[in-house]
Chain A
Amino acid sequence: MFQFRSLSSSRSLFWPACGVILTATSGAVWAAPPPEAASCAACHGAQGEGMAAAHYPRLAGMPADYLAEQLHLFASGQRQNAIMSGMAKPLSAEQIKTLADYYSGLPVTMAAPAQTVPADLKPRGEQLAVYGDWKAGIPACFRCHGPGGVGVAPAFPALTGQSATYLDQQITAWKNGTRSGDPQGLMHTIALRMSDADTKAVTAWLAAQKPEAAVMGKTNQAGGAQ
């Protein structure tokens, strides 16, 4: 908490910057952004596509419930992030829902994978993402985040279409407790079982996956779809 408070003063610098960039990128082609989104676009992109170079995650197409939950966690401090805590704290529950619904409804627009996976990380990365490593108690990423890591509403976010650094930061944060509030401690538990090498390999692999795999399909109940 101390760390968060000392850094939160950066908010005063951040808001005007957002406004400038937003002016240049407003007029979304997909849906009219709600006024609350003005603060988000500078870092997360006009279409919520994220900014891989700066490790800001994409929001477009993520499960709405997941996005809303994250804003609540930023506000409560369970997910510690200097910028986002400042952004989330003033929002009402209604505003949070508006933002989450808006970004969830945006199409995933990445044109290409942000990165390529180094050859030495590929086998381990792919193994962890697709099959997991049960000896170490690490389930496959795709087992819960869906085939291709597309995300499974309401609780499991997409993994592809994010930068390796962003994904790495999250696993590290679950490990050291600066990100919590994940349902049933699922990611906290898994992160504790992952070595730094595991984290590096799997995040590099995920960041290199084809962007079309990042488009979350409609989530149905199993009984209705087949």
Chain B
Amino acid sequence: MSKHIQQIKPVLTSILLASVAVVPMASLAAVEVTPKSAPNAAVLTGSTFTPPDPSTIPNDEFGKMVQLGRNIMFESKKYAPQYVGNSLNCVNCHTDGGAMAGSAPLWGAWVSYPAYRSKNKKVNTYEDRLQGCFRYSMNGKMPPLGSDVLVALSAYSYWLAKGLPTGDTKIAGRGYPDFPAPKQAPDFVRGQAVYEANCAICHAANGEGRVVNGTVVFPPLWGAQSFNWGAGMGSIKNAAKFIFANMPYGQSYSLTPQQAWDVAYFMDGHERPQDPRWEGSVAATRAKYHDNKNSLYGTKVNGVLLGDTGAPKPFNE
């Protein structure tokens, strides 16, 4: 167990003791043990920042754009239909509409841009960064710079970050918290067992999520309606960090780090929409964009050569 986890463990233990204390023990005798968990992803990040409450969004022209940005976070297809190509909503990976520490909060990103990104080898503005979300995570189309969608998301991010020092790229709570490297190499079969025990009740056995009355309730984790191969969540490491801090929903930090690595491998070991940076072949695309141990693109998993689905499908609004 790493130093990092040893440091955070006492915090977690005290939380668990506090919550268990109110339960009459006798009544639990015949009950399976509820997974130990933290209330939210922020708990183990050391974050002390509190973004403003949504009820304080100003009632003026600026506030309207802030509210639009917040709406896009929760209902992406409804409020940005021309740019969203799948069933996901931003909030699926940015808990609490991008306000939650440890869940890639928008306020953490806002104070960190412009920044150089090795992903596209240039200095990205905040709007450039948002474009990447739509192109990859939403498997859609990049909103033009200066478009209402990007202005609204920028306004919302700026509003969330009120009081934070610009340029504090190491601010606690940014992104998903770092956690230990796996003791054992992540494994598809172990990951499947973790998935079936902890994830399938919501995301379904086939990973395609659940829809009610035309609304996506539980997001698809792979398949045609999920993020594409270019998305950050396609990195096993990134997905494992997200899962460890945020999943199962409402049960942060209840999986072991190894379980998070294994289930991330299982999720990312399935087929999904083509990387829009397609280089004409799986091998060439892997060589240029996926040649690292955290991407299973272009490798064989369970007998399937992942990414071998031809050129990206054209975007349909």
Q: Is B215's CB under 8 angstroms from A147's CB?
A: yes
Which of A150, A155, A183, A193 is the one whose CB lies under 8 Å from B19? A193
Q: Report the separation of the CA atoms of residues A177 and B33 in the bound assembly, to the nearest whole angstrom.
A: 11
Chain B minimum-CB-distance residue to A173: B27
B214 at the interface (CB under 8 A from A): yes
B310 at the interface (CB under 8 A from A): no
* B1-50 interface with A by 8 A CB criterion: 19, 22-24, 27-28, 30-35, 37-40, 42
Q: A137-B250, A146-B212, A221-B206 are in contact. Are A184 and B39 (CB under 8 A)?
A: no
Q: A152-B218, A193-B39 are in contact. Are A225 and B248 (CB under 8 A)?
A: no
* A188-210 interface with B by 8 A CB criterion: 188-190, 192-193
Q: Report the separation of the CA atoms of residues A224 and B215 in the bound assembly, to the nearest whole angstrom.
A: 12
Q: Report the separation of the CA atoms of residues A170 and B216 in the bound assembly, to the nearest whole angstrom.
A: 26
Q: Report the separation of the CA atoms of residues A84 and B96 in the bound assembly, to the nearest whole angstrom.
A: 38
Residues of A contacting B249 in the complex (Cβ-Cβ under 8 angstroms): 139, 143-144, 186
B251 at the interface (CB under 8 A from A): yes
Chain A minimum-CB-distance residue to B86: A226
Q: Report the separation of the CA atoms of residues A146 and B100 in the bound assembly, to the nearest whole angstrom.
A: 22
Q: A177-B27, A177-B28, A192-B19 are in contact. Are A223 and B34 (CB under 8 A)?
A: no
Q: Is A221's CB under 8 angstroms from B250's CB?
A: no
Q: With both chains docked as a complex, state the minimum distance between the C-beta of B173 and any C-beta of chain A, in angstroms.
A: 13
B189 at the interface (CB under 8 A from A): no
Q: Report the separation of the CA atoms of residues A162 and B35 in the bound assembly, to the nearest whole angstrom.
A: 29
Q: Report the separation of the CA atoms of residues A185 and B27 in the bound assembly, to the nearest whole angstrom.
A: 14
Q: Is A184's CB under 8 angstroms from B213's CB?
A: no
Residues of B contacting A152 in the complex (Cβ-Cβ under 8 angstroms): 210, 212, 217-218
Which of A153, A178, A186 is the one whose CB lies under 8 Å from B250? A186
Interchain Cβ contacts within 8 Å, total number: 139
**Most chain B CB neighbours (cut-off 10 Å) among A139, A151, A185:** A185
Q: With both chains docked as a complex, state the minimum distance between the C-beta of A178 and any C-beta of chain B, in angstroms.
A: 6
Q: Is A184's CB under 8 angstroms from B248's CB?
A: yes
Q: Report the separation of the CA atoms of residues A146 and B215 in the bound assembly, to the nearest whole angstrom.
A: 8
**Most chain A CB neighbours (cut-off 10 Å) among B31, B204, B217:** B217
Residues of A contacting B212 in the complex (Cβ-Cβ under 8 angstroms): 146-147, 150-152, 216-219
Residues of A contacting B219 in the complex (Cβ-Cβ under 8 angstroms): 222
B299 at the interface (CB under 8 A from A): no
Q: With both chains docked as a complex, state the minimum distance between the C-beta of A192 and any C-beta of chain B, in angstroms.
A: 5
Q: With both chains docked as a complex, state the minimum distance between the C-beta of B309 and any C-beta of chain A, in angstroms.
A: 14
Q: A137-B40, A176-B27, A226-B87 are in contact. Are A221 and B204 (CB under 8 A)?
A: yes
Which of A134, A184, A192, A221 is the one whose CB lies under 8 Å from B40? A134
Chain A minimum-CB-distance residue to B50: A135
Chain A minimum-CB-distance residue to B222: A223
Q: Is B34's CB under 8 angstroms from A188's CB?
A: yes
* B72-119 interface with A by 8 A CB criterion: 87, 95-97, 99-100
Q: Is A189's CB under 8 angstroms from B250's CB?
A: yes
Q: With both chains docked as a complex, state the minimum distance between the C-beta of A172 and any C-beta of chain B, in angstroms.
A: 12
Q: A137-B40, A137-B250, A186-B251 are in contact. Are A222 and B32 (CB under 8 A)?
A: no
Residues of B contacting A144 in the complex (Cβ-Cβ under 8 angstroms): 202, 217-218, 249
Q: Is A176's CB under 8 angstroms from B23's CB?
A: yes
Q: Is A181's CB under 8 angstroms from B210's CB?
A: no
Which of B22, B216, B252 is the one whose CB lies under 8 Å from A222? B216
Q: With both chains docked as a complex, state the minimum distance between the C-beta of A180 and any C-beta of chain B, in angstroms.
A: 4
Report, nearest first, the 8 A-B pairs whose CB atoms are least far apart.
A137-B39, A185-B34, A177-B27, A217-B213, A222-B209, A223-B208, A180-B31, A222-B220
Additional 9 contacts, C-beta under 8 A, given A146-B215, A177-B24, A177-B31:
A134-B99, A150-B213, A175-B23, A183-B201, A184-B201, A185-B251, A186-B248, A193-B19, A225-B211
Which residues of B are interface residues toward A (Cβ below 8 A)? 19, 22-24, 27-28, 30-35, 37-40, 42, 54, 87, 95-97, 99-100, 197-198, 201-202, 204, 206, 208-220, 223-225, 248-252
Cβ contacts A to B, 24 pairs, < 8 Å: A131-B96, A134-B100, A136-B39, A143-B217, A143-B249, A144-B218, A146-B212, A147-B215, A147-B217, A150-B212, A151-B212, A155-B201, A176-B27, A184-B198, A185-B35, A188-B34, A189-B35, A192-B23, A217-B212, A221-B211, A222-B87, A222-B210, A222-B225, A223-B223
